[in-house]
Amino acid sequence: MKIKVQRKVFSEVMSIVAGVVNPRHTNPLVQNVLLDASKSGLLIKATDLEVSLQYQLNDASVSKAGKVLLPAARLNGLLKDMSAETVELIADDESVVVSAERGKITLQTADVEGFPGFPEFKQDNALSIKASDFAKGLGWTGKSISPERGRYAFNGVLITTGKNGIEFCGTDGRRLSYMKVAGKAKTYDFPIIIPRRGIELFTRMAERAPDSDISLDIRENEVVARAGNAIASTALIDGQFPDYWTVIPRNNDKTYVARRADLISSLRLAGHVTSVESQSVAMEISKQEITFKTRSPGMGSAEVKLPVTYAGPDCRVGFDPRYLLDGLALMTADDVTCEFKDNETGVIFHEGSKDKAFFLVMPLDVG
């Protein structure tokens, strides 16, 4: 193999690859990245057997075709530390020489034999939406899922087809975020639940080609996505996702509108007097005003007032301020609408149109 590539693009792709490869994987072979040079350019492949990425680098000039396996983390670091415009990779039987300008680094290669196979992207598109919308949906909902790399519904984002659009939903059972984006889909394949690793990979892939369309090829327990020059795949979670439409409160009869920035700063302020014992912020809503209250025994208390447009009866709901801050941080509008009912019912926040996106926070009951 003998190729010349643009260092910057190569490096960018390799940093996505580094997110795919697990350098502590029990199978040392998959700690490597496969470089496959052919007439059509350089194909970069990596997997941790849960997610996989195949990236076609077109602007590589291949003077001699061939395949090599190189340690992914090392190659990634190397490219980062180089400053040249182009790098050249020349392989012999045992090693690859990576050279650019003054530097010349020889890396031992591993045997390509035994490197796992990669899923092919078939043409029957289960879904096709704009990559930027896809990334937005995953980003908005991915924040609410349970953190571990588990196999449960709460460990992933649900994608399904809804009335004129594709719906994204993530929850950890304590909060939930929902978003709907425009797109076409073949309904029978859905819903699917994408695990955290898949969310991250798909997001990064989509962000690299924001203007292209992303299409999905859904299999038994795997989904393959294509956007731009990349094909990525992830295992799917085979769990029972809660029927969110039945648990999202329908009759939150009270609403107020507040400035998002004010909400954030009030919550931050009140959050200074939370502790392990009392993590909750009480939101007390009265006419034209909400008061955020915190109290921690042995520490102190806080009371932050915020004028709002509200004319309903007094009400008090407690919750974990971090949930709110997470959601508010992902919003972009100036004003936020809050829909609530009582201290038993989830509180909904949205940026004007609940149909497009909202997040829901379950109350935190103080004894």
Partner 1 sequence: MAYKRADYALAPSARTILDRYDAMPKIQKLPPEIANKIAAGEVIERPASVVKELVENAIDAGATRITIDLEDAGKQLIRVSDNGSGMECDDLVLACAEHATSKLNAVDDLFYIDTMGFRGEALPSIASISHVRIVSRTTDNPEAWEITNHGGEQSEPKPASGAPGTVIEVANLFYNTPVRRKFLRQNSTELGRVIETIENIALAYPAIGFTLNNDHNAIFELPQKQARRERIVSFGGAKLSDALIEVNDFDEYASLTGFVGSPGQHRPNSKDLRLFVNRRFIRDRSLLQAVMLAYREFIPHGRYPVAYLFLELDPSEVDVNVHPTKIEVRFTQASRLFGKIKAAVQEAVLRSGQLPRLDLNDRRLEQVKALAGASQQEIHASLQQFRAPLPEARPGSSAEPDLELATPGYDRTEHAPRLLDDEQLASARLLRDKVSPRAPLPPYAESSLQASTPSANLFENARGYFQIGNAYIVVETTDGMVLIDQHAYHERILYWQLEHRLSSQPPEIQKLLVPEPLELTRAASAMLGEHRELFRQFGFELEPFGSGGWACYGVPKYIRTTKVNEFVKSSLDELAASGRAKNPAELRKSMVDMMACKAAIKAGDPLKGADIESLIKEGAKVPHTFACPHGRPTTYKLTFTDIEKIFHRR
Give the binding site for partner 1 (CB under 8 A): 15, 18, 22-24, 73, 76-77, 80-81, 143, 145-150, 154, 171-176, 196-197, 200, 242, 247, 275-280, 297, 318, 320, 322-323, 325-326, 344, 346, 360, 362-367
Tokens 């990559």 label which residue?
131
Output the smallest distance, CB 66 to partner 1, in A: 27
Output the smallest distance, CB 148 to partner 1, in A: 5
Output the smallest distance, CB 50 to partner 1, in A: 11
Nearer to partner 1, 53 or 91 (CB): 53
The Cα-based distances of 76 to 26, 80, 91, 276 in angstroms read: 20, 6, 17, 41
Q: Does the CA dihedral 137-139-144-147 come out positive or negative?
A: positive
Selection from 141, 133, 135 nearest residue 204 by Cα: 135
Output the smallest distance, CB 304 to partner 1, in A: 19
Nearer to partner 1, 41 or 198 (CB): 198
Say how many Å lie between the first and final Cα of the chain, rounded. 68
Nearer to partner 1, 11 or 54 (CB): 11
Nearer to partner 1, 103 or 352 (CB): 103
The Cα-based distances of 1 to 34, 46, 140, 180 in angstroms read: 12, 18, 43, 46
Tokens 């969310």 label which residue?
199
The b-or-e profile of 237-262 (16+ CB within 10 A means b, else e) is bebebbebeeebbeebebbbebbbeb
Output the smallest distance, CB 48 to partner 1, in A: 11
Output the smallest distance, CB 176 to partner 1, in A: 6
Output the smallest distance, CB 197 to partner 1, in A: 8
Nearer to partner 1, 79 or 159 (CB): 79
Q: Does the CA dihedral 73-74-78-81 come out positive or negative?
A: positive
Nearer to partner 1, 19 or 41 (CB): 19
Nearer to partner 1, 182 or 247 (CB): 247
**What is the C-alpha separation between 131 and 109, in angstroms, rounded?**
35
Type of residue numbered 89: L
The residues, ordered by sequence, that sit 6+ positions from 103 with a Cβ below 8 Å of its Cβ are 82, 84
**What is the C-alpha separation between 356 and 194, in angstroms, rounded?**
20
